[in-house]
Amino acid sequence: METKIIEIDLAELTIEEKAVPEEYEHLGGRGLTSTIISREVEPTCHPLSEDNMLVIAPGLLAGTTFSSSNRLSVGAKSPLTGGIKESNSGGVVAYKLGRLGIKAIKLQGRSKSESGPIGIRIDKNGVYFEDLAFLEGKTTYYSAEKLLEKYVRKAGLMVIGPAGEMKLSTACINVNDQEGEPCRNIGRGGLGAVMGSKGVKAIIVDDAGIDSLTKQNDKAKEVIKKFASMLKEHPVTGEEFAKYGTVMTLMSVNTLGGLPTRNFSQGSFEQAENIGAERLYETISERGGMYTHSCMPGCVIRCSNKYVDENGNPVVGSLDYETVCLLGANLGLANLDQIATLNKLCNTYGIDTMETGVALGVVAEAGVMKFGDFDRAKELIEEIGKGTVLGRLIGSGSVVCGKVFGVERVPAVKNQGMGAYDPRAIKGMGVTYSLSPMGADHTAGNAITLAVDHLDPQSQLEPVRDLNINTMVLDSLGVCIFTGRVTLQNPEILEEMIAAFLGWNVTFEVLRKMGKNFLLREREFNRRAGFTRAHDRVPEFMKKENLLPNNSVFDISEEELDKFYDFANGELT
């Protein structure tokens, strides 16, 4: 299929459809967003200025019904970290973009309009600007409903909430799922603020009238089935994810002593069971919600859920591990209904639940709220939505909160709050947090999945580096990292998928080499933006303060950490 890159200049209000340069032919997802950003964005630019660019790219396999292979990447210079950022999500947009043959959308410049935000609508006939002034300041849920009503009920949406319009560094871009709920978030790094800074409220993607991309492709259809079977046969991707969702690992992380509790002051939470997977499963199924659900067309893993209240009314989809921990245990909250309410509020305003949870933990330490005080936590999130001074502050992320309140214990790297694994107990995660160009981003190399002694400082670096490279491959293909137990164990299946769909005969080893190059491009962008090895570190307190119950600190040596990018020397094509 002919593919294209859409270049949109918000200042000039121009739209151009460009042919895909040959060198980008085999790039997609994170590989493509990071390549474009690193080549076309000045690393020292202000992230909210007209010089930043928002690049949207579905993964290389998008548009197909390969299970779990329609993730959407968005990249930019991050207002949160000040470095390069890629954040990806599920939902339906990547699938639709893939079907429309759109390899990337570049949002450049900045709208000069004073009459409210604009929209970008895409269908098989073209790309159009839309006046969305009527959605100015509106929540993501309200906006999504109005957009689906006004345009196409089945449209894919990328929409920002008030936080993105306020250009807060925790603002995300919400992507809708198959039911239209805007709850699959391009969450991390404040990419919603970049979209907001450009004056864009929403992107509406309609793929009506496009035929199946694999209609004539029997080989692809065969591999689609084969991949689905492989996923179904594995106990985790075939069963556990579907039953328990991403919260699956909560109790084991708690047992390992790595569950962030009350601003990362403990590694286990005495009420963990109340927010664990069994409880979540029981609660949703008793109430008649969906404890399993596919966030993307064709996904057989179905780790997503739709949390409902006591009366069976929808609260939020989906309640996931990081949110449950960071808006739960990390704030001393042990009630799933409460956590779901906070999650929904964050989604509604369009803010990252993770950075919000970490930031609330920091301000709780400063005394702005008490740990365990749900009403106050809710109030504080509402302040973000309202844009009060305190709200804007919390909405600017954990590091800024720490600075303003004089809190030293800020669990962040490169200005980004950590995922829900304390690196003093899950030490490999500390390698990812420290070295990923993304900052403290668990998804860049989700070390909890590794079969290592998580407390041993010696055995982390190499497997975690490997995982970061493999993750880059998956993020570029648009294949969900939750397939890792299958795809990374049997990478031939990825080769088959690519060959069948794209006719590209490539080995996993070559994909890894490409992945290393993408990582190095990201790292080079950060270097030019002003990052050094001094930023490749977990915060000081984690090297000194013992974490219960293991009484452990983060003790992987700086020398060891500094070897992470040693593949930069020589090994690359």
> Under rule CB under 8 A, which residues in 169-188 are in contact with a second copy?
169
Paired with 419 in beta bridges are: none
Among positions 311, 532, 569, 573, the unique one binding a second copy when judged by CB under 8 A:
532
Does position 212 interact with a second copy (CB under 8 A)? The reply is no
Closest CA to 135 of 96, 169, 164, 176: 164
Q: How far apart are the C-alpha atoms of 418 and 432, rounded to whole Å?
A: 10
User: Is residue 112 part of the contact set for a second copy (CB under 8 A)?
Assistant: no
Number of Cβ within a 10 Å radius of residue 287: 16
Q: How far apart are CA 170 and CA 167, in angstroms?
A: 8
Nearer to a second copy, 403 or 563 (CB): 403
- Taking the complex as a whole, the smallest distance from the CB of residue 28 to a second copy amounts, in Å, to 30
Question: Is 492 in contact with 55 (CB distance < 8 Å)?
Answer: no
Q: How many CB atoms lie within 10 A of CB 225?
A: 12
Q: How far apart are the first and last CA of the chain?
A: 28
Say whether residue 332 binds a second copy (CB under 8 A).
Answer: no
Interface with a second copy (CB under 8 A), residue from 193, 290, 384, 511: 193
CB of 92 to a second copy, least distance (A): 30
Window of 215-223, 291-299, 332-340, 526-534 that interacts with a second copy by CB under 8 A: 526-534
To the nearest whole angstrom, how small is the minimum distance from the Cβ of residue 83 to a second copy? 11
Alpha carbon 271 to chain centroid distance?
Answer: 27
Among 112, 219, 370, 403, binds a second copy (CB under 8 A): 403
Residue closer to a second copy, measured from CB, 168 or 452: 168
Query: Min. distance of Cβ 362 from a second copy in angstroms?
Result: 13
CB of 539 to a second copy, least distance (A): 7
Measured between alpha carbons, how far is 376 from 491 in angstroms, rounded to an integer?
48
Q: In the structure encoding, which two tokens stand for residue 561, read together? A: 């950490």
Q: Using the rule CB under 8 A, is 192 a contact of a second copy?
A: no
User: For residue 43, what are its two tokens?
Assistant: 């690393």
Among 195, 539, 556, 561, binds a second copy (CB under 8 A): 539
Stretch that binds a second copy, among 248-256, 271-279, 485-493, 539-547 (CB under 8 A): 539-547
Question: Alpha-carbon torsion 338, 343, 348, 354, what sign?
Answer: positive
Interacting residue with a second copy among 77, 103, 167, 293 (CB under 8 A): 167
Asked if 160 interacts with a second copy (CB under 8 A), we say: no
Q: Are 554 and 468 in contact (CB under 8 A)?
A: no
398 binds a second copy (CB under 8 A): no
| Residue 263 interacting with a second copy (CB under 8 A) | no
Listed residue (362, 310, 320) closest to 342, CA to CA: 320
Looking at 95, 531, 554, 564, which residue binds a second copy (CB under 8 A)? 531
Does 358 sit near a second copy (CB under 8 A)?
no
Site string for a second copy, 408-447 (x = CB under 8 A): x---------------------------------------
Q: Is 527 in the site for a second copy (CB under 8 A)?
A: yes
Q: What are the φ/ψ torsions at residue 227 (nearest 5 degrees)?
A: -65, -45
Cβ contacts of 223 within 8 Å, gap of 6 or more:
66, 493, 496, 497, 500, 501
Q: Does 37 bind a second copy (CB under 8 A)?
A: no
If one asks whether residue 376 binds a second copy (CB under 8 A), the answer comes out as no
Is the CB of 148 or the CB of 404 nearer to a second copy? 404
Asked whether 299 and 241 are in contact (CB, 8 A), the reply is no
- CA proximity to 85, closest of 157, 167, 192, 197: 192
Are the CB atoms for 98 and 45 separated by under 8 Å?
A: no
Q: Report DSSP state, residue 449.
A: G
Q: Which token pair is 572?
A: 């690359």
**For a second copy, the closer CB: 26 or 527:** 527
The interface region with a second copy, picked from 166-174, 242-250, 277-285, 442-450 by CB under 8 A, is 166-174
Contact residue for a second copy among 396, 432, 460, 470 (CB under 8 A): 396
User: Least separation, in Å, of the C-beta of 25 and a second copy?
Assistant: 33
Q: How many residues of this chain interact with a second copy, rule: CB under 8 A?
A: 38
- Comparing CB distances to a second copy, the nearer of 48 and 204 is 48
d(CA 573, CA 570): 8
Task: Decide whether 29 or 190 has the Cβ nearer to a second copy.
Answer: 190
Q: Which of 288, 312, 530, 549 is close enough to bind a second copy by CB under 8 A?
A: 530
Smallest distance, a second copy to C-beta of residue 165, A: 10
Residue closer to a second copy, measured from CB, 245 or 402: 402
Closest residue by Cα to residue 261 from 102, 468, 154, 418: 418
Piece in contact with a second copy (CB under 8 A), picked from 257-265, 315-323, 463-471, 530-538: 530-538
Helix axis angle for 277-287 and 336-349, nearest 10°, is 80
DSSP letters, 327-375, are TTGGGT---HHHHHHHHHHHHHHTB-HHHHHHHHHHHHHTTSS-TT-HH
Q: Name, in order, each residue with C-beta under 8 angstroms of 444's C-beta and a sequence gap of 6 or more.
A: 432, 436, 438, 468, 471
CA nearest neighbour of 150 among 107, 202, 92: 202
Q: Map the footprint of a second copy across residues 41-100, applying CB under 8 A.
A: 43-46, 48-49, 51, 79
Nearest approach, Cβ of residue 540 and a second copy (Å): 5
Q: Which stretch binds a second copy (CB under 8 A): 15-23, 211-219, 488-496, 521-529?
A: 521-529
Which one of residues 152, 210, 390, 506 is an interface residue with a second copy (CB under 8 A)? 390
CB of residue 395 to a second copy, shortest distance in Å: 8
> Regarding beta strands 118-123 and 200-205, do their DSSP bridges make them parallel or antiparallel, or are they unpaired?
parallel
- Report if residue 279 touches a second copy, rule: CB under 8 A: no
User: What does the CA dihedral 283, 284, 286, 288 come to, rounded to 10 degrees?
Assistant: 160
Q: Measured between alpha carbons, how far is 68 from 221 in angstroms, rounded to an integer?
A: 15
* E strand spans, 366-479: 412-413, 416-417
Using CB under 8 A as the criterion, which residues of the chain lie in contact with a second copy when the complex forms? 43-46, 48-49, 51, 79, 166-169, 193, 197, 368, 389-390, 392-393, 396, 400, 403-406, 408, 527-532, 534-535, 537, 539-541
